[in-house]
Structure 1
Amino acid sequence: MKNSELYKGSLITIILKLLNEHDKMYGYEITKRVKEITKGELQITEGALYPSLHKLQAQGFLDVEVVNIGKRQRKYYELTEEGTRETIKKLAELEHYIKTMRALVNPKFRMA
């Protein structure tokens, strides 16, 4: 997408939603899944993803499990109970935002 600025405010919600659907995921897996779902329209960079994951962890929304794979470590992220509640809240906020934007850009969605 040419204007990735539109997606920036939704990154946290995207991460929470994917983790809610898949239980545990590691960073590259998240970026790969977003790219697959959006057919390449949205590509999350490491520079955007990892600060968001660290922020969610600091807020108590994610737990991290470190797994050794050969000589490397892989961090798996999963939602805490509080993270699950935050996911529900963020998805509701996003749905409301989409509904509002739809009404603004398309007259057929405006309420009388």
Structure 2
Amino acid sequence: MNSTELIKGTLTTIILKLLADNGKMYGYEITQRVKELSDNKILIKEGSLYPALHKLLKDGLVQVETVNIGKRIRKYYSITKQGELKKQVQSDELKEFLQTIHGMIFPQQDLLSNDVG
């Protein structure tokens, strides 16, 4: 449903929010949670997720813990204190941006919703 450009611009915020809400998560778990929360409307592919996670790791916004599960190695990501601060800033910016875009694209809806309340 949603274009890859829209998702790309919000992926960092989505990841940080999920990690803040859920503690440590591994990549596939993140993709499935996004799918679930969006009613299958947002599907994050590995080719988008892992570069974003690696950038967050490099920037000190997340940390990684490697766990051996049988013969497999699973990397669990969790948000850092710096990541928590960044998540709040980005969430506030995204909220303001979405409100601005909504007002520009759907100005009549804003007028109607004000009349109802």
Is contact 1:61-1:83 (8 Å) kept?
A: yes
Q: Superposition pairs for residues 94-105 of structure 1, below 5 Å?
A: 94-105=94-105
Structure 1 residues without counterparts, runs of 5 or longer:
none
SS in 1 for 2:77: strand
- Aligned amino acid, residue 86 of structure 1: K
Distance across 2 between alignment mates of 1:89 and 1:95:
10
List, as ranges, runs of 4+ consecutive aligned residues in structure 1 with deviation greater than 4 Å.
none
Question: Aligned residue pairs: how many?
Answer: 110
Residue 4 of structure 1 and its aligned partner are, at CA, apart by 2.7
Distance 1:2 1:9 in 2: 12
After superposition, give the CA deviation of every residue in 1:52-108 in whole Å (9 maximum; x if it has no partner): 000000000011000000000000000111011011011001001111111111114
C-alpha separation between the residues in 2 aligned to 1:83 and 1:3? Answer: 26
Equivalent residue runs for 1:1-112 within 5 Å: 1=1, 3-108=3-108, 109=110
Q: CA contact under 8 A between 2:2 and 2:42: conserved in structure 1?
A: no
Classify the secondary structure of the residue corresponding to 2:60: coil
- Aligned AA (2:59): Q
- The one-letter code of the counterpart of 2:3 is N
* Whole-Å separation in 1 of the counterparts to 2:47 and 2:76: 18
Whole-angstrom distance in 2 between the partners of 1:53 and 1:27 = 8
Shift of 1:8: 1.3
Task: Give the AA of the match of 2:54.
Answer: H
Aligned partners of 2:91, 2:45: CA distance in 1, in Å? 22
Q: Measure, in 2, the Cα distance between the counterparts of 1:107 and 1:2.
A: 22
Per-residue deviation, 1:7: 1.6
The root-mean-square deviation of aligned C-alpha atoms, in Å, is 1.2
In structure 2, runs of 5+ residues without a counterpart are 112-117
Identity of aligned pairs, percent?
49
Distance 1:107 1:35 in 2: 30
Q: TM-score, normalised by structure 1?
A: 0.94
TM-score between the two structures when normalised by the length of structure 2: 0.90
